[in-house]
């Protein structure tokens, strides 16, 4: 991670992100269980849930000076992908990467991690 990464106003996770910390995570859980847990955790963290669309697997939420979209999709039996897109209002503010890492670590605690990006971790 470079020094300029902290000044990014937008980050998005995906399967082939150059930083492993920002690669898609796959969990052994149903999309509904992950969505429900994320919604409860976001509220418990004092952030605001703006919209939940279970049919599309999207959960929009915001914190102080930033907003995010979590995408939760079942990719095969018992494996659910979770991606995040975060935007910050200004160059200075919360570390968007750290927000993603915090949510991925909490998800790993709750649901066993199956894969990171294209690599299986089972």
Q: Which CATH number covers residue 38?
A: 3.30.310.80
**Residue 35 lies in domain:** 7-120
For residue 121, what pLDDT is reported?
A: 74
Does the residue 35 lie in any domain?
Answer: yes
Q: What is the pLDDT of residues 59-110, one digit of tens each?
A: 999 999 999 999 999 998 778 999 999 999 877 778 999 999 999 999 999 9
What pLDDT was estimated at residue 43?
96
Higher-confidence position of 114 and 13: 13
Q: Using H for helix, E for strand and C for coil, what is the string for the chain?
A: CCHHHHHCCEEECECCCCCHHHECEEECCCHHHHHHHHHHHHHHCCCEEEEEECCCCEEEEEECCEEEEEEEEEEECCEEEEEEEEEECCCCCCCHHHHHHHHHHHHHHHCCEEEECCEECC
| Tens-digit pLDDT profile for residues 16-44 | 999 999 999 999 899 999 999 999 999 99
| Residue 2 is assigned to a structural domain of this protein | no
Is 17 among the domain residues? Answer: yes
């Amino acid at each position: 991670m470079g020094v300029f990464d902290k000044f990014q106003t937008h980050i998005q996770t995906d399967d082939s992100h150059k930083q492993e910390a920002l690669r898609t995570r796959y969990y052994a859980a149903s999309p509904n269980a992950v969505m429900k847990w994320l919604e409860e955790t976001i509220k418990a963290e004092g952030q605001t849930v703006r919209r939940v669309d279970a049919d599309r697997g999207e959960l929009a939420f915001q914190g102080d000076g930033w907003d995010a979209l979590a995408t939760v999709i079942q990719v095969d039996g018992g494996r659910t992908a979770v991606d995040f897109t975060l935007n910050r209002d200004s160059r200075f503010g919360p570390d968007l990467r750290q927000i993603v890492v915090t949510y991925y670590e909490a998800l790993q605690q709750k649901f066993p991690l199956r894969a990171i990006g294209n690599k299986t971790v089972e």
